[in-house]
């Protein structure tokens, strides 16, 4: 992987100018995922990149720091976190021809507060031994009684689940979404628990036949010798919504409201959204770049192709409170 990263980065790096400046990042993404890109950006521009990694509390920290915040950009995953930053007033709108050219409309805030870099699909992991891939077609079908006692999933209150329920609300309305959620709960093999990898382990162990999960976890499991058997026991299947595509979520970047190095921050945003930079970023976490003409690595492409739901993710973010309310009303985790 690292040889491929180095090769790709060489294609987007040029000689650094003599004057060095800086740009400061607050990131929910692990430093090792960012380092290939921050190093390449510094090589190309001479702008030093300082990264502060936070496990939680990024928005709260920005609000506490206010105009004194040193942060120029924030990196995060999941539309709920991006939307929360916008709603908290800690971001500012950014527009440029380069950003608009590199990021499709569905994957950036309509007002320019955040811009997507990579996506991951919310898919079904299905037992190779007990599930015919043709059986899995739509998200709506997961509520069919044929799956009774066969589904594993993580908590209904987790942002990944909430985002999917929000998408169901968007496509079908709250009443149908509640019925769907009750149907999925009725099909669970066990109470929701663990992360996405834990669900695949449960399939491998025979506790259930299918689970919901993000695509990139397949790559993570395949690189872990203790988890390769789990990964090899399942197929990656891409359900769709009826009359729509496969549900995806996003990793993205936003400029802070304070941004003391705004010009440098904009340069970095434009750099990050180039196709080559997106491909490097996507490879590091087995995700999908979104710039026109960009491609995922072969391993990820081998899992299968899909058409992403083109609903703007901010439309789904607006429904997350309603989604969480439905999760609680049906006592999904109970």
Tell me the pLDDT band of 66, cut-offs 50, 70 and 90: very high
Whether 281 has a pLDDT exceeding 60, the answer reads: yes
- Mention the CATH class of domain 121-246+312-329: alpha beta
With cut-offs at 50, 70 and 90, classify the pLDDT of residue 4.
low
Q: Which residues contact 238 (CB under 8 A, 6 or more apart)?
A: 121, 123, 124, 246, 304, 305, 306
Maximum distance among all alpha carbons in the chain? 66
Residue 23 near residue 72 (C-beta atoms within 8 A): yes
- Per-residue pLDDT, averaged over 67-85, amounts to 94
**Neighbouring C-alpha atoms within 13 Å toward the C-beta of 165:** 33
Overall pTM surpassing 0.75 (yes/no): yes
Contact (Cβ atoms closer than 8 angstroms) between residue 228 and residue 222: yes
- Distance from C-alpha of 202 to C-alpha of 209, rounded to nearest angstrom: 8
Residue 328 pLDDT level (bands cut at 50, 70, 90): very high
Both structure tokens of 271: 């750099």
pLDDT in the model for residue 1? 54
Q: How confident is the model at residue 31 (pLDDT cuts 50, 70, 90)?
A: confident
Interval 284-298: pLDDT, tens: 999 999 999 999 999
Residue ranges of the chain assigned to CATH 3.40.190.10:
2-119+249-296, 121-246+312-329
- Confidence at residue 129, expressed as pLDDT on a 0 to 100 scale: 98
Q: In the CATH scheme, what is the homologous superfamily, with its name and number, of domain 2-119+249-296?
A: Periplasmic binding protein-like II (3.40.190.10)
Q: What is the pLDDT of residues 220-245, one digit of tens each?
A: 999 999 999 999 999 999 999 999 99
């Amino acid at each position: 992987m690292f040889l491929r990263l180095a090769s790709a980065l060489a294609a987007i790096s040029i000689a650094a100018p003599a004057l060095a400046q800086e740009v400061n990042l607050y990131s929910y993404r692990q430093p090792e995922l960012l380092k290939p890109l921050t190093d390449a950006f510094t090589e190309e521009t001479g702008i030093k990149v300082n990264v502060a990694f936070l496990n939680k509390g990024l928005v709260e920290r920005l609000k506490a720091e206010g105009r004194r915040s040193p942060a120029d950009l924030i990196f995060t995953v999941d539309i709920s976190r991006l939307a929360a930053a916008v709603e908290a007033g800690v971001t500012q709108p950014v527009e440029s021809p380069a950003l608009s050219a590199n990021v499709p409309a569905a994957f950036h805030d309509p007002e320019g507060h955040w811009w997507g870099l990579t996506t991951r699909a919310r898919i079904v992991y299905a037992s190779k031994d007990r599930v015919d891939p043709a059986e899995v077609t739509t998200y709506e079908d997961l509520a069919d009684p044929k799956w009774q006692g066969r589904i594993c999933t993580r908590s209904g209150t987790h942002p990944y689940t909430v985002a999917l329920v929000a998408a169901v609300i968007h496509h079908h309305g709250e009443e149908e979404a509640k019925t769907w959620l009750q149907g999925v709960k009725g099909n669970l093999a066990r109470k929701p628990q663990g992360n996405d990898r834990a669900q695949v382990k449960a399939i491998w162990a025979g506790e259930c036949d299918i689970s919901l999960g993000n695509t990139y976890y397949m790559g993570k499991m395949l690189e872990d010798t203790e988890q390769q058997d789990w990964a090899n026991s399942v197929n990656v299947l891409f359900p769709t919504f009826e009359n729509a595509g496969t549900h995806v979520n996003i990793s993205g970047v936003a400029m802070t409201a304070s941004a003391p190095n705004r010009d440098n921050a904009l340069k970095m945003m434009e750099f990050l959204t180039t196709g080559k930079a997106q491909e490097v970023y996507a490879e590091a976490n087995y995700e999908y770049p979104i710039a026109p003409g960009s491609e995922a690595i072969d391993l990820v492409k081998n899992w299968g192709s899909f058409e992403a739901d083109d609903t703007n993710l901010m439309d789904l973010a607006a429904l997350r409170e309603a989604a969480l309310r439905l999760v609680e009303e049906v006592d999904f985790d109970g």
